[in-house]
């Protein structure tokens, strides 16, 4: 019996063993294939990065080599600089450097990219490169040459010693011998070099991209937790029996603020509000109540939101867009003064469409950009003259004067035209001084606001 059983089980066991060995071999082959593929991708990205940084250095040199009046060559060179920095940024993102401090180099490339793009797209016949911008290009030429040399040194070691990027990924993930890894050391050297470079003045258009908009810029007398408690009770309007808890956020940092949470038996859910420490200004409000099925039309929601803002101390606000998401309406309001919409002074209001009451708003832009005595220039051209600058097929639905912030972080007065072309609806902002296009926005969903 045992012999028969052994004779039956032996081939089955052998078959299973062979199957396991074959499966294990295939799994190992697939794993190795994936590792080889990843290694090849890392190697390609790294060598492309080294190549593009070298090309960037050369293109900056070419741009500086031509006469200062060669606007066409300057534009061509800056476009190429923008393209090459974008390529380099993309290649950095493909490398396993998430755990490695390389932020200074990434920021350096980002600033070169934004600087070159914003300079290249402007009209050099009206705004040629300034002495400061030429100085920036000279500094960037020198710095990029040093970075390129450092990367080439790492590249030489990678090729000579047949170093693997998979080892870098493993070292960063496990922190095992990370300090002895040649590639890691090389990238740390590059980042330290970049961190030591003096900060360049790229101008307001680039600086605005990296502006942290600290609440400390607001000024005003710092408020206490008790001050915030009183402000929260007044804004919530839930009566004297309401309870308020105040928490300070980011104490000692430039983002210091207070969060006030108001609870009351009269209200089913707590209401939370955020206030700046400097001046005690309300920057957000959130009523956490449950919102039922929609019964209020968007037009009524816009009117209710306008009334809410007026009652809460935000006068002269005009709705410029309204979007519906299920049973909520998200509405954008800006200040209106002397017939001009001031877009930097923006408040977003959320309305529950079950009863049409505001359930929250975000006023950080309004708080930081509000100016009681903002100077609004007069239009330099008539509405009729500006209208002639539009595309002949543009079907105008409305027009109005609007103060906006352009790509150079400058406030400019524009004629805002709303209308349709090519089957879509757009807002086109033409500079009110000379009629050139400042910006164009496609309106994907908009109803109930004053886009008409």
Q: How confident is the model at residue 187 (pLDDT cuts 50, 70, 90)?
A: confident
Task: Examine residue 6 and state whether it is found in any structural domain, yes or no.
Answer: no
Counting Cβ atoms within 10 Å, is residue 279 exposed (0-12), middle (13-18) or buried (19+)?
A: middle
Whether residues 275 and 203 share a domain: the answer is: no
Per residue, the 3-state secondary structure of 16-48, as one string, reads HHHHHHHHHHHHHHHHHHHHHHHHHHHHHHHHH
Query: Of 369, 395, 425, which marks where a domain is finished?
Result: 369
| DSSP per-residue string spanning 122-161 | S-TTTSPPPHHHHHHHHHHHHHHHHHHHHHHHHHHHHHHH
CB 335 within 8 A of CB 342: yes
User: Which residue, of 207, 231, 247, is where some domain finishes?
Assistant: 207
Least confident of 107-121, 246-260, 397-411: 246-260
pLDDT digits (tens, 9 = 90+) for 160-171: 888 787 777 666
Reply yes or no on whether the pLDDT at 385 is more than 50: yes
Q: Considering the domain boundaries, does residue 452 fall inside one?
A: no
Determine the Cα angle at 215 with ends 211 and 221, to 5°: 145
Which single residue is written with the structure tokens 């051209």?
Answer: 381
356/401 same-domain check: no
Mark out the alpha helices in 224-340 (DSSP H runs): 225-236, 298-311
Specify whether 328 is located in the same domain as 190: no
Question: Which residue range(s) make up the domain with 387?
Answer: 383-443
Q: How far apart are CA 197 and CA 193, in angstroms?
A: 7
Do 335 and 429 share a domain, yes or no? no
Instruction: For 253-281, write each residue's pLDDT tens digit.
Output: 666 789 999 998 888 789 999 999 988 99
Structural tokens at position 232 = 């929260």
Looking at 369, 398, 432, which one is the last position of a domain?
Answer: 369
CB 332 within 8 A of CB 319: yes
Same domain, 81 and 134: yes
Q: What is the pLDDT of residues 92-102, one digit of tens each?
A: 888 877 656 77
CA distance 56 to 202: 18
What stretches of 180-302 adopt beta strand conformation (E)?
243-249, 257-263, 271-276, 282-287
CA distance 57 to 107: 17
- In a domain, residue 29? The reply is yes
| Residue 393 resides in a domain | yes
Are residues 297 and 432 both part of a single domain? Answer: no
Separation of alpha carbons 191 and 150, rounded Å:
10
Mark whether 251 and 158 lie in a shared domain. no
Q: Is 266 part of a structural domain of the chain?
A: yes
Residue 63 sits in the same domain as residue 104: yes
Q: Model confidence over 324-337: pLDDT tens digits?
A: 888 999 999 999 99
Whether residues 154 and 234 share a domain: the answer is no
Residue 4: inside a domain: no
Identify whether 304 is part of a domain.
yes
Least confident of 120-129, 292-301, 319-328: 120-129
Whether residues 252 and 361 share a domain: the answer is yes
Please name the residue that has the structure tokens 């539009």: 390
**Residue 401, H or E segment:** strand 395-405
185 and 291: one domain? Answer: no
Percent of the chain with pLDDT over 70: 83
Distances from the Cα of 212 to the Cαs of 204, 245, 363, 406, in angstroms? 13, 28, 16, 18
Q: What is the pLDDT of residue 450?
A: 43
177 and 309 part of one domain: no
pTM of the model: 0.69
Residue with tokens 């309204």: 322
CA-based end-to-end distance of the chain: 94
For the chain, how many structural domains are there in total? 3
Query: CATH no. for residue 345?
Result: 3.30.310
Residue 7 forms part of a structural domain: no
Find the helix or strand (DSSP H, E) in which 362 lies.
strand 358-362
């Amino acid at each position: 019996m045992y012999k028969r059983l052994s004779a039956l089980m032996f081939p089955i066991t052998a078959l299973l063993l062979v199957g396991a060995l074959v499966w294990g071999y295939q799994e190992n082959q697939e794993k190795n294939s994936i590792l080889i593929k990843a290694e090849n991708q890392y190697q390609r990205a790294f060598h492309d990065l080294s190549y593009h940084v070298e090309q960037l250095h050369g293109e900056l040199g070419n741009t500086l080599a031509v006469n200062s009046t060669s606007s066409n060559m300057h534009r061509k060179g800056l476009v190429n600089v923008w393209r090459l920095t974008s390529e380099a940024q993309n290649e950095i993102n493909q490398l396993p450097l998430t755990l490695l401090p390389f932020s200074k180099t990434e920021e350096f490339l980002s600033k070169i990219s934004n600087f070159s793009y914003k300079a290249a797209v402007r009209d050099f016949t009206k705004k040629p490169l300034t002495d400061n911008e030429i100085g920036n290009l000279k500094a960037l030429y020198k710095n990029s040459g040093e970075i390129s040399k450092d990367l080439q040194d790492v590249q030489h070691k990678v090729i000579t010693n047949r170093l693997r990027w998979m080892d870098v990924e493993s070292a960063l993930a496990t922190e095992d011998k990370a300090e002895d890894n040649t590639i890691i050391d090389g990238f740390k050297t590059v980042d330290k070099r970049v961190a030591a470079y003096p900060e360049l003045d790229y101008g307001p258009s680039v600086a605005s991209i990296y502006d942290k908009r600290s609440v400390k810029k607001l000024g005003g007398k710092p408020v206490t937790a008790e001050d915030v408690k009183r402000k929260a009770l007044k804004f919530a309007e839930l009566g004297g029996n309401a309870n308020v808890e105040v928490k300070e956020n980011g104490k000692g940092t430039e983002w210091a603020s207070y969060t006030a949470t108001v609870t009351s038996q009269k209200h089913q859910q707590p209401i939370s509000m955020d206030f700046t420490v400097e001046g005690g200004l309300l920057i957000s409000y959130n009523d956490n109540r449950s919102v039922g099925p929609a019964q209020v039309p968007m037009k009524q929601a816009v009117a209710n939101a306008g009334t809410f803002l007026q009652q809460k101390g935000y006068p002269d606000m005009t709705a410029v867009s309204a979007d519906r998401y299920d049973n909520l309406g998200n509405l954008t309001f800006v200040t209106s003064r002397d017939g001009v919409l001031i877009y930097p002074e923006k408040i977003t209001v959320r309305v529950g469409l079950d009863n049409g009451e505001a359930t929250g708003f975000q006023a950080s832009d309004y708080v930081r950009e509000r100016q009681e005595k903002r100077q609004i220039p007069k239009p330099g051209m008539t509405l009729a003259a500006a209208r002639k600058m539009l595309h002949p097929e543009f079907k105008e639905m409305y027009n109005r004067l609007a103060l906006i912030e352009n790509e150079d972080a400058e406030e400019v007065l524009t004629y805002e035209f709303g209308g349709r072309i090519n089957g879509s609806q757009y807002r086109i902002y033409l500079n009110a001084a000379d009629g050139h296009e400042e910006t164009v926005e496609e309106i994907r969903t908009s109803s109930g606001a004053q886009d008409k």
